[in-house]
Amino acid sequence: MRLKTLAWGLVCVLAALGCDDDGSTGPEPPPGETWNIAFSFDRGAQGTDVGINAFWFTDARNGWACMQHWIFRYENGSWRVAANFEQLFPSYQISFRALSAPTPNDVWAGGELTSPSGADLFFYDGTQWLAVDTGFANIVTVNAIHFLGARDGWIATSGANVGEGRVMHFDGNDWTEYLAGTDMRDFSFTSSTNGWAVGTENGAEVVYHWDGSRWRRDSLPGSAPTEIRAVDFTSRTDGWVLGTRGGGPLLYHYDGSSWARVDNPLVAAGNLDFLSATYGWLTDSPASGGQSWFYDGATFTPHPWPRDLLGEIEFWANGENDVWAGTGTSSGAAYILHHTGDR
């Protein structure tokens, strides 16, 4: 791993001083039925990528989120701006899509990056952000990141053209390439010997399973999805995949031996996050009206969102009464919402 360090301390101070109009007291849309707005951030950056693109919590008290060139941190019960990469790395162009934090001071973040130095993603060591060069060529976008520890991490990348992506593993010193020629969108690992990835390969939507030594392609029942949007596993015997076919949502559950279709009320597939086979959250895409659904293993219960959402919904569930969601609005604001019960 090659790290490139910039003078960070002064820039961080400047970033903090420039955050007085970014905080959690900006104009707020009406909250959803059981969602409270915990943080709002408005720079007036209207567009299609103004919302929160990823969460990662190391525990209920320490969390991270990202959007565009911003990183946010949750600690001591509140959210704050942690880094503005336009200031930290002014010669880089970054739009964050993914992050992972196995510890509060071991954070990885990546997305669509144009770098003058060959950097592919960023690493926070508890003191400063460092640009990381994996040594592999033609990495345009980091789509997914999942680190189980400082010496056990995975990223999924895409290149300049379809079919130029790869999956890569980091052992603390070196990066190793897997699944060259694929474009994986999402990861979910429950251990170093149980991981799942979804995306495209040779024009087809695919699901892959990692058993600790190799990636093996798996298959979903019925007609193949035209897009697989998300995967989430809580254990070896409980996993979920959300996809679409012909515009209609497809939800699948894995019980440890096989996949099965699960009927669902979604209008258009958005995202999901599960704690178990009987506790999970799903969302419609904002274009379909914006609706979140709680699933108890048998029944879907609706929980409406504010109606002016623009970005896709990202979820993170720390527990049954501690669920986070992030998105954006057509006015260019990003919102982090918190669900603490009343499911």
Q: pLDDT class for 289, splitting at 50, 70, 90?
A: low
pLDDT in tens, 178-226: 999 999 999 999 999 999 999 999 999 999 999 999 999 999 999 889 9
pLDDT higher than threshold 80 for residue 57: yes
Structural domain count of the chain = 1
- Determine the pLDDT at residue 288: 65
Model-level pTM?
A: 0.88
Give all strands (DSSP E) within 104-221, no chain letters.
Answer: 106-114, 121-124, 129-133, 141-149, 152-158, 166-170, 175-178, 182-191, 194-201, 204-210, 215-218
- 86, containing H or E segment: helix 85-88
Output DSSP code: residue 12. Answer: H
- Enumerate residues 6+ apart whose C-beta is below 8 A from 302: 265, 291, 292, 293
Q: pLDDT class for 16, splitting at 50, 70, 90?
A: very low
Looking up residue 238, the CATH number of its domain turns out to be: 2.130.10.10
- Determine the pLDDT at residue 327: 85
62: containing domain: 2-339
pLDDT in tens, 97-115: 999 999 999 999 999 999 8
- Average pLDDT (252-273) is 93
What values do phi and psi take at 12, rounded to 5?
-65, -40
What single letter denotes the amino acid at residue 181? G
Q: CA angle, 290 as apex, 287 and 294 as ends, to 5°?
A: 140
pLDDT higher than threshold 80 for residue 2: no
Do 227 and 241 contact (CB within 8 A), yes or no?
no
- Token duo for residue 154: 């995975």
- Determine the pLDDT at residue 329: 75
- Determine the pLDDT at residue 51: 83
- Average pLDDT (245-251) is 90
pLDDT in tens, 310-341: 567 899 999 989 999 998 876 778 889 999 87
C-alpha distance from residue 83 to each of 25, 50, 92, 104, 338 (Å):
19, 16, 14, 15, 22
- Per 3-state DSSP, the chain is made up of helix, strand and coil in percentages (nearest 5) of 5, 55, 40
Mean residue pLDDT across the chain: 86
